[in-house]
Chains A and B, each alone.
Chain A
Amino acid sequence: MIGLVIVSHSHRLAQGVQELADQMSTDDITIVAAGGLMDEHGAFHIGTDAVRIAQAIQEAWSEDGVLILLDMGSAVLSTEVALEMLPPAMRERCRMSNAPLVEGAIVAALEASLGRSLEEVNQAAEAASRLQKIAQE
């Protein structure tokens, strides 16, 4: 079973996506949120923190790998820095997903709980960008 990490500029958005994804998966899938930037008073600001992301990857770690879902922009940069901080053996089993954050996380949680591989889960999550939400006439 792979692990999932949710990266967003917003702490609450990452938590919300994690909550939603948790609902779609089984208990044996670890989903960890790493959103926002904590200041010295423990308050969250908009931003991303590579150190927290690296910790989240370690928390979600499974030998089967970790899929990282993210919003955009500097979330990608911070996640790249986080991956660079990890031991190479761990880094090789981590993927950043190009999937849309919310839809991708829901699909990934579902696919992961079916025991699919890292690559399979990522493909399914990325395909969520073509998801037709509204029935065509």
Chain B
Amino acid sequence: MGQEITLPQFRRWLLAYARRIIQEEDYLTELDAAIGDADHGANMRRGMVKVLERLQAPDDNCNDIGSLLRSVAMIMISSVGGAAGPLYGTFFLRAAAVANQHRSVTLPELARMFRTGLEGIQQRGKAVLEDKTMVDAIQPAVEALEAAAEANQSLAVALASARQAAKLGMEHTVELVARKGRASYLGPRSVGFQDPGATSAYYLFETAAETLATPAENGSEQGQKSTSQEPGDP
């Protein structure tokens, strides 16, 4: 209660997310090859390489959480390409609007940022729960975050339960028939495969649980201790 998530923590989260996506490029491509057009890994990687470049630059001109998320949104809408580009872009743009001018946010504010972002994705993509999309990972996570905020739980507990909810939501997509995007053309044949969009969305909450609950070391948050792998050599 009363814990704040700061701008350096958000930067650390987005760097961790970008690295995770780059690490999992082949896995995302493999999932997308089964029911989509096998481009989700490469598309997301292209965007995330740019996010890393931008956030690791000596001066990224992002002085508040809103402008940080907005810069990530602009990279995603202009370089990811598939439906994921405009959808993640909208998620970050809407979340950015809530965090405008904020250099830190509380758990209820974080929940509201993610809820607003989710609403943007749903407005844009017209997907609802069980359509076998990223919504199946994000919506349960947002609900878990809101419930935790309501119950005055700690940030660490809240983020852990959001991660768990996103994971279950992602795994549940295996059983679902796709109703959006290219996979929807497969109808019942899309059952048995995990949705690639739900998977890349799960990483948002996985990396959030790893980075947003603990304070970032002052100023040197870009030095990421835990992930020593170099993000994709160009």
- Check A74–B86 contact: CB distance below 8 A: yes
Docked CA distance A46–B39 (Å): 9
Q: Which residue on A lies nearest to B46, using beta carbons?
A: A39
Q: Which residue on A lies nearest to B74, using beta carbons?
A: A51
Given A39-B46, A50-B89: A73 and B77 interface contact (C-beta under 8 Å): no
Q: Which residue on A lies nearest to B75, using beta carbons?
A: A51
- Check A48–B85 contact: CB distance below 8 A: yes
- Check A47–B125 contact: CB distance below 8 A: no
User: Digit string of A47-85 for contact with B (CB within 8 Å is 1, else 0)?
Assistant: 111111000000000000000000001100110110010
- Check B77–A45 contact: CB distance below 8 A: no
- Distance in angstroms from B231 CB to nearest chain A CB is 15
Docked CA distance A73–B185 (Å): 12
User: What residues on B are CB-neighbors of A40 within 8 Å?
Assistant: 50
Q: Report which of A46, A47, A81 forms a contact with B89, defined as CB distance below 8 A.
A: A81
Docked CA distance A50–B79 (Å): 9
Q: Report which of B43, B87, B182 forms a contact with A47, defined as CB distance below 8 A.
A: B43
User: What residues on A are CB-neighbors of B182 within 8 Å?
Assistant: 73
- Check B79–A37 contact: CB distance below 8 A: yes
- Check B83–A73 contact: CB distance below 8 A: yes
Q: Which residue on A lies nearest to B78, using beta carbons?
A: A51
Docked CA distance A77–B124 (Å): 6
51-79 of chain B: CB within 8 A of chain A:
74, 77-79
With an 8 A cutoff between CB atoms, is B181 at the interface?
yes
With an 8 A cutoff between CB atoms, is B188 at the interface?
no
Docked CA distance A50–B75 (Å): 10
- Distance in angstroms from B70 CB to nearest chain A CB is 11
User: Digit string of A76-107 for contact with B (CB within 8 Å is 1, else 0)?
Assistant: 01101100100000000000000000000000
With an 8 A cutoff between CB atoms, is B82 at the interface?
yes
Q: Report which of A47, A51, A80, A81 forms a contact with B81, defined as CB distance below 8 A.
A: A47
- Check B81–A49 contact: CB distance below 8 A: yes
- Distance in angstroms from A75 CB to nearest chain B CB is 10
- Check B124–A47 contact: CB distance below 8 A: no
User: What residues on A are CB-neighbors of B79 within 8 Å?
Assistant: 37, 39, 49
Docked CA distance A80–B79 (Å): 16
With an 8 A cutoff between CB atoms, is B80 at the interface?
yes
- Check B78–A50 contact: CB distance below 8 A: yes
Q: Which residue on A lies nearest to B123, using beta carbons?
A: A80
Interface residues of A (CB under 8 A from B): 37, 39-40, 45-52, 73-74, 77-78, 80-81, 84
22 A-B pairs with CB atoms under 8 Å apart are: A37-B81, A39-B79, A45-B81, A46-B39, A47-B39, A47-B81, A48-B81, A48-B85, A49-B78, A50-B85, A73-B83, A73-B181, A74-B81, A74-B85, A74-B86, A77-B86, A78-B86, A80-B124, A81-B77, A81-B86, A81-B90, A84-B93
